[in-house]
Structure 1
Amino acid sequence: MKKLIFLLLSILLFLSISYVSYTYLKIKKVASIEPPKDIAHLIVLGAKVNGDQLSKALLYRAETALSYWKNNQSTKIIVTGGQGNGEDTTEASALMKFFIQNGVPKESILVEDKSTNTYENLQFTKELYSIQESVIVSNDFHLYRAVELAKELKITAFPLAARTPKSVKLLLYLREYAAILKMHLTI
């Protein structure tokens, strides 16, 4: 009986390590892709807002999107994200404020402010603006899943990776592995 338990635990450990390794490689591969220039829309996926201030992860997304927009000013920026617990404003509103403060004209910004997760960010954006193709901006750990969800919604997605804050990197990666597994089981 002990040998059987040991064997089962060994198999489970091997499968877990294999899954994490495979998923890590997929995450890194997607995050390394450079998006093409002059894509009509750039979707900035929402993330936590502290009161009305961008969290570090969301700030990195916003800075990365701003850098792309500065080189592609015909691109419309779509800010996404509703208002979650502990947030004084919607994620989309906080992002819009950031972009306006950094010189992006209001008419270059489109808003999706009802979503509560990544799938809804993309789904509601597609419904509102008939998006068929877009650059998607998120932190590096998150882009693989975002691109896969975009494919499911029939959006041609080009990833643009923002860095992930070191202080929360391990936690976010662990959470992402679970989210990716859930995505593969439900799509």
Structure 2
Amino acid sequence: MAYLLTSIPFFAGFAISFRFERRRLLNGVLLLAGLLFLAVGVIFASLDIPAVHDVVDGSVLAIAFFLVIAVLLPAFLVLNGLQMVRREGRRLGNLLSLLAGLAMFAFGPALLVLGKNAVPRAVEVVIISVSIVLGYLSLAFAAFVLCSVGYGLLRPTKGADFIVVHGSRLIRGAVPPLLASRLDRGRALYDAGVAQGAAPTLVTSGGQGADETQPEAEAMADYLVAHGIPREEIVLEDRSTTTRENLLYSRELMTERKPGYRCLLITNNFHAFRTAMLARRLKVNGQVVGSHTAWYYVPSATIREFIGILRDYRILNGVVIVLLAAAYPVSLAF
């Protein structure tokens, strides 16, 4: 019962935080904490019921949890990683789910060795310290996934003045499927605005990469025109080369045209929440809307986004990781 009651303040905190600002990771942290306490409370309460206890005990649940974390999840990541490599190539960003799965397979036996065998103190310290850091990263990743999924379920706000479609790398001068999905999503939202009697302005945002023959914004505008959007309804932002620049230059453009604007920012669904966090920091008044992404692409892309958030908040995360890594060795000195 204590665990069930402890979950209530976290759920209440999540509801309040989410109500006032949907674009912060704190929402996921509060929701995750509430769900964890709720799950533990439900498990303990269930085990107190004789009919349940006769069928399932704590050891069965522990084994099931171990199988999911140490076998099923890494197996899924490895298989997904292999599919990702086959379809997208061997760039580092495409290997993340494969590497994560292999690391999980390797770390499970290391913990078993530590639990059943006498190992040198130095090895013990390393394994336990790494476990603590990985625990922190796992919880942070779970909070990020909760935020990403929850934010993606929000309906686009109505009455936007601008719809900003973020660019991505062109392939042989043409719009690839990943970028086409963003443009199609932006076009659908534009059509919805027209149907409601308030046509928003479409902004294509993307500069020219070193291996591109034209700015992404131009190719994106051509795609939209070819799919029925009037050219005069499209404004080009053709200077940006990063998500941060997409937001900064688009904000500048929108502020000049309509102070007090409201906008929708279009990117792929795996990138939506991190973009929303950055938009909040840069004071861009808008909601980020995710477009469809092929399912096999999502695991590696989500891991890449999480690494990006760790980098965005590298000082905070660096301090936390150092303190956690030092906690066990320091405790041995007392």
Partner residue, 1:157: 286
Q: C-alpha separation between the residues in 2 aligned to 1:55 and 1:25?
A: 29
Task: Could you tell me which runs of 5 or more consecutive residues in structure 2 were left unpaired when the two chains were aligned.
Answer: 1-120, 317-334
Instruction: State the Cα distance separating 1:38 from its structure 2 match.
Output: 2.4
Partner residue, 2:173: 52
CA contact (8 A) 2:162 2:254 kept: no
Task: Could you tell me which runs of 5 or more consecutive residues in structure 1 were left unpaired when the two chains were aligned.
Answer: none
Q: Which has the higher helix share?
A: 2
Higher relative contact order (CA 8 A, sep 6+): 1
Instruction: State the Cα distance separating 1:66 from its structure 2 match.
Output: 0.7
Change (3 A) 1:30 1:24: same
Q: How does 1:117-128 map to 2 (within 5 A)?
A: 117-128=242-253
CA contact (8 A) 1:43 1:77 kept: yes
Partner residue, 1:172: 301
Q: C-alpha separation between the residues in 2 aligned to 1:174 and 1:17?
A: 11
Q: C-alpha separation between the residues in 1 aligned to 2:158 and 2:286?
A: 13
TM-score (norm 1): 0.92
Partner residue, 1:94: 219
Q: Which has the higher strand share?
A: 1
Change (3 A) 1:127 1:105: same
CA contact (8 A) 2:148 2:270 kept: yes
Partner residue, 2:191: 70
State the 4+ residue runs in structure 1 displaced beyond 6 angstroms: none
TM-score (norm 2): 0.53
> Which one-letter code corresponds to 1:86 in the other structure?
D
Instruction: State the Cα distance separating 1:3 from its structure 2 match.
Output: 2.2
CA contact (8 A) 1:56 1:165 kept: no
CA contact (8 A) 1:34 1:159 kept: no
Greater Rg by CA = 2
User: Helix, strand or coil: the match of 1:88?
Assistant: coil
> Which one-letter code corresponds to 1:141 in the other structure?
F
Q: How does 1:1-20 map to 2 (within 5 A)?
A: 1=121, 2-20=123-141
Give the paired residue count.
Answer: 187
Q: C-alpha separation between the residues in 2 aligned to 1:179 and 1:133?
A: 26
Kindly report the root-mean-square deviation, in angstroms, between the aligned alpha carbons of the 2 structures.
1.8
